Amino acid sequence: MSKSNRHKKTTLACPNIEDVLSRPAEEFDNDETLEHLWAAKAMEHSDIYFNVLCSVDTRWLRLTQHDDLIYNHFRQDFPDMDVKYINENVLKNNVNKSRWRMFCEKFKNIVEDYSFGTLLRADTNGDYSEQNTILVPRVQFYAIEIARNREGLNNEVKKRCKCASKLSMEAQEHTQEVAV
pLDDT mean over 43-54:
85
Most confident range (mean pLDDT) of 4-8, 52-56, 128-132, 173-177 is: 128-132
How much is the pLDDT for 66?
97
d(CA 145, CA 142): 5
Rounded to a whole number of angstroms, the CA Rg of the chain reads: 20
Q: Is the pLDDT of residue 72 over 70?
A: yes
Would you say the C-alpha torsion 91, 93, 99, 104 has a positive or negative sign?
positive
* 40 has a pLDDT exceeding 90: no
Indicate whether this model's pTM tops 0.75: no
Pinpoint the alpha helices (H) of 54-154: 67-77, 88-91, 94-105, 138-150
| Mean pLDDT of the residues in the chain | 79
pLDDT at 99: 96
> What is the C-alpha to C-alpha distance for residues 106 and 134, in angstroms, rounded to an integer?
22
Q: For 74-126, what is each residue's pLDDT tens digit?
A: 999 999 999 999 999 999 999 999 999 999 999 999 999 899 889 999 999 88
Query: Hey, what domains does the chain have and what are their CATH numbers?
Result: 3-179 (1.10.3560.10)
**Which residue, among 148, 143, 136, 154, has the nearest Cα to 67 in the 3D structure?**
143
CA distances from 44 to 48, 88, 163, 177 (A): 6, 22, 24, 35
